[in-house]
Structure formats: C-alpha cells, structure tokens
C-alpha cells in the first residue's frame, strides 16, 4: 500500500463536489435545452441589445457595436433550477458593467427587467448584474452560442439559477422597484440563489 497517498484513499466515490450547490447534480458533458417559447430565427444582423428605464442615456447596441466593446470572459459553472449543474464552461461576451457605464444608471435604479427578443422576461436586483457578475454572451467553449442555447446572444448570470439568464436577450430596463418576469409570475423565486435554494416563491 506504500504507493497510495492518504489523499487518494480518503477520496471516496460518494464525496460530493464542493462546487455543487445543494440539491443539484453534475450533468457532465450534456447540456439540456430548456425553452418556454418557440425558438426565434434571429440573425446577428437583426440582434440588438438596449439599456433603458432609469438611466441617463438610453442606449441600443447593434451586433457590431457590442462586439467593439471590451471583451470579458466567465469561466465556471451554471445551475438550472431543474437540478442540473454544468461545470468548467468558458463564456465570452461583454460585461453588463460595460453597457451600464455607457447608459449611466440613475441613483433610484434598484432592479432590472431582462427582456428577450421573444418576449421572455426575468427580474433581477441591479446588484446581481453589476460588479462583474453578469454578461451578454455570444461564445461558449470556443464556439458561437447556438440558437437553441440563446444565440446569437444571451444574458449570463451564472451565480443565480439559469432561468435568470435570458436567451436571445434584447435588453435591460432599470426600475426603482421589483416586478415579476415570466417564471417569477409562475411561481419561481424573485432572486434565485442556488446556494440557498431560492427555487420557488416563499423559499
Ligand atoms: N428566452 C428564454 N430564455 C430562457 C428560458 C426561456 O424559456 N426563454 N429558459 C430559462 C431556463 S428555465 C433555463 S434553465 C435556461 C436554459 O438555457 P439552456 O437551454 O441554454 O440550457 O434558459 C433560461 N432562459
Ligand atoms: Mo431552468
């Protein structure tokens, strides 16, 4: 047994990955598709991203304009409320901080409504999309984001359950109060922190 280290013997198969939030399992290489609406046909030339509501300068970016902004990468996991998590992903896009710096949030802004080109909506506290925690993303693991996963571009808010990451993102509206989006109206949690299992209203 001389060749076996203590660490090796101590790592039983049942040991839980510390990156896995409670109630979640590792989906491995697979990546489920979850879409409530019909998948839109949205070419990059037709995609826009806008920031409006409580901002000094409501602004809309085209595909080319968004790609001219400083790039930003997220490396890590995503967590779906249906209990799968996916590790070691690399996402490229632009930080929401960059878009907000251009639009100039008013001091009264506390929440955002994210809206998709399909009409899907989801609400988030402003603090959860600032400080390097959220992106508009168009590339994942070295390839363009596929249409079924929200391409040409989606919102990415990986520290919250994945329903907050609106596919085919069209914009953020800054508000001075919270309002329910699509799944939140249908019983999902306003915030959605996977580490405290904020799955449903009342959790
Ligand atoms: N526009 C739109 N965005 C959406 C959804 C949706 O139905 N429509 N589903 C959400 C949910 S519940 C999850 S888990 C993820 C699924 O993303 P995926 O299909 O790329 O795994 O997208 C989120 N964003
Ligand atoms: Mo989900």
Give per-residue pLDDT as tens, 78-126: 999 999 999 999 999 999 999 999 999 999 999 999 999 999 999 999 9
Which residues contact ligand 1 via a Cβ below 6 A? 31-37, 80, 116, 118, 120, 149-150, 162-163, 165-168
* pLDDT surpasses 90 at 11: no
Which of the four pLDDT bands, split at 50, 70 and 90, describes residue 6? very low
> pTM of the full predicted structure?
0.94
Choose among 93, 113, 203, 63: nearest CA to 158.
Answer: 93
- 26 in any annotated domain: no
**Angle, alpha carbons 7-11-12 (nearest 5°):** 150
Choose among 121, 99, 116: nearest CA to 52.
Answer: 99
The minimum-distance atom of ligand 1 relative to the CA of 161 is 14
Backbone dihedral angles phi then psi of residue 180, each to the nearest 5 degrees:
-75, 140
* pLDDT surpasses 50 at 9: no
Cα–Cα distance between 179 and 114 in angstroms, integer? 11
Q: Over the chain, what is the mean pLDDT?
A: 94
* pLDDT surpasses 50 at 45: yes
* pLDDT surpasses 70 at 33: yes
- 62 in any annotated domain: yes
| Distance from Cα 96 to the centre of ligand 1, integer Å | 18
- 83 in any annotated domain: yes
Q: CATH number of the domain that 66 lies in? A: 3.90.420.10
Domain count, the chain: 1
Which of the four pLDDT bands, split at 50, 70 and 90, describes residue 25? very high
* pLDDT surpasses 70 at 43: yes
Residue nearest (by alpha carbon) to ligand 1 atom 22: 163
- 24 in any annotated domain: no
Domain that holds residue 123: 46-196
Q: Are 174 and 52 in contact (CB under 8 A)?
A: yes
Question: 28 CB contacts (<8 Å, ≥6 apart)?
Answer: 86
* pLDDT surpasses 50 at 3: no
Q: Are 59 and 51 in contact (CB under 8 A)?
A: yes
- 140 in any annotated domain: yes
- 12 in any annotated domain: no
* pLDDT surpasses 80 at 5: no
* pLDDT for the residue numbered 15: 81
Question: 109 CB contacts (<8 Å, ≥6 apart)?
Answer: 53, 54, 55, 126, 174, 175, 176
- 151 in any annotated domain: yes
């Amino acid at each position: 047994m001389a060749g076996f280290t203590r660490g090796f013997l101590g790592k039983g198969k049942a040991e839980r990955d510390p990156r896995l939030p409670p109630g979640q399992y590792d989906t491995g290489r697979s990546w489920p598709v979850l879409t409530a609406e019909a998948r839109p046909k949205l070419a990059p030339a037709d995609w826009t991203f806008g920031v409006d509501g409580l901002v000094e300068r409501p602004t809309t970016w085209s595909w080319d304009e968004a790609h001219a902004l400083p790039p930003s990468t997220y490396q890590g996991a995503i967590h779906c409320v249906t209990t799968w998590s996916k590790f070691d992903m690399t996402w490229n896009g632009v930080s929401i901080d960059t878009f907000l710096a251009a639009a100039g949030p008013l001091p009264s802004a506390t929440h955002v409504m994210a809206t998709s080109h399909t009409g899907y909506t989801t609400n988030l506290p402003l603090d959860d999309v600032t400080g390097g925690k959220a992106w508009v993303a168009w590339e994942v693991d070295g390839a363009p984001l596929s249409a079924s996963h929200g391409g040409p571009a989606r919102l990415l808010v990986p520290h919250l359950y994945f329903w907050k990451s609106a596919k085919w993102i069209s914009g953020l509206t800054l508000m001075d109060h919270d309002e329910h989006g699509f799944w939140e109206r249908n019983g999902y949690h306003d915030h959605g922190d996977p580490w405290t299992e904020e799955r449903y209203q009342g959790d």
